[in-house]
Structures are given as C-alpha cells and as structure tokens.
Amino acid sequence: MFKGATSFTGDGISNWNTDRVTSLPWTFSECTSFTGDSLSNWNTASVTNLNGAFEGAVDGSSSFTGYGVIRWNIDKVTSFSDTFSNTDAIQNCTKRFITRSNSWQNNAAFMSAYGNDWFRGTVKSMFRNLGAVTRVDESPRKVRGVRERSARISLFFLTYSWVRTRSARITLILVTFSYLSLAIIPLECISLFFLTYSEYS
C-alpha cells in the first residue's frame, strides 16, 4: 500500500477501521520516515499475513520504532517472513516489550522467526552494557563506584519489571537486600536467574 513511500510518516491513519483486514504484506516496506506509532489503535484480530510489513531499506534506513504494535492482536498471523527486516530503529527495550506481550508471546510463528532471538539479544545486551560500565579502568575510584552502583540499581529495576509473578518479585527483593548486606552473590547472577525463572515459569 505505502511501499517505498520514503516521505510517508503515518499521519492520518491512526483511526482507520481495519476490522476486516486480513493481510498486510509489505504495507509499510521501505517507508523510511514511518515510525509506526500511529498503528496502536489498529484492530488486527483478523490479520493472517505480516510478511515484510515493516521491512526497512536495505541500507538500514528505518524510523520504525515498533512501539505502535506492542499491543496488537496477532493471534491469527502465521506469516512473518521479513516482517522486521532492517528495522534498526527498534530498541532492545521495545523488542522486550513486544516479546512479553501476550499475543506476540503466544504466537509460535513469531517467536520462531523473531521472538526468541529478540529475548536473548536484550538480555545479552543488558549484561554487555553493564560490564562495559563496571569494568576496572583508569577512571577515579569514586566515579567508578558511582557508575557501578547506578548500573546495578538499573539492573535491579529492569529485572523487577520483567519478572511477572508476585512471588518471584518478592523473592527478588529479599535476595537483592541480602546481596546489598552481604555481597555473597553477584547481582548480575541474581538477575540472570530471575529472568530465566520468569521465562520458563
């Protein structure tokens, strides 16, 4: 529909009636100015095909953030070929929100095509960034200590927001306080355990 419309931003489509739409292949492919934020109100309960729907340009030029599709109903979608190819503007945190949203998470075809890699990628990125911040370098000790504490606080709240069950969250808080008091178990290990627990519980 809008394939290759590089100046298209999505203005005017947020309230479209899409109740009967069943196929959206290549709809916004190579729309390099399109963020997709205007799609949050679309009814996609009848859609079965999203092949190439948000594919970015081959050179990686893409403004699509993914935020507008987090709460989409994709229960009937079975085709995800190149749906998110070259969409470099989608941040890891948004990928995480998408993969944890019920409809996306419960769609086996999506999880096989993107979801599992997105989940693993966000976790790896989080620990990689934490390591880059907390490693010993030539910075003054005081500044390094502040960075370490800030990184660990951020890691705790990220983990807390991703753990889904109330009991697991309570346990996470108790274990984290134990860490702060005794420093027996590295906080990174605690977070990784609870993320894994949340994923398979």
10 in a structural domain: no
180 in a structural domain: yes
155 in a structural domain: yes
pLDDT single digits (tens) 27-46: 999 999 999 999 999 999 99
Residue-range definition of the domain harbouring residue 177: 136-200
49 in a structural domain: no
Instruction: For residue 80, give the amino acid letter.
Output: F
84 in a structural domain: no
Q: According to the model, what pLDDT value does residue 102 have?
A: 86
108 in a structural domain: no
98 in a structural domain: no
150 in a structural domain: yes
Identify the band that residue 141 occupies on the pLDDT scale cut at 50, 70 and 90: very low
Q: According to the model, what pLDDT value does residue 81 have?
A: 93
- State the total domains in the chain: 1
User: What's the CA gap between 88 and 105, in Å, rounded?
Assistant: 21
Q: According to the model, what pLDDT value does residue 78 have?
A: 96
pLDDT single digits (tens) 113-135: 988 788 665 555 544 544 444 44
User: Which comes out higher in pLDDT, residue 88 or 136?
Assistant: 88
User: What's the CA gap between 124 and 103, in Å, rounded?
Assistant: 24
Q: According to the model, what pLDDT value does residue 127 have?
A: 47
What is the average per-residue pLDDT within 9-14? Answer: 91
C-alpha count within 13 angstroms, C-beta hemisphere, residue 154: 13
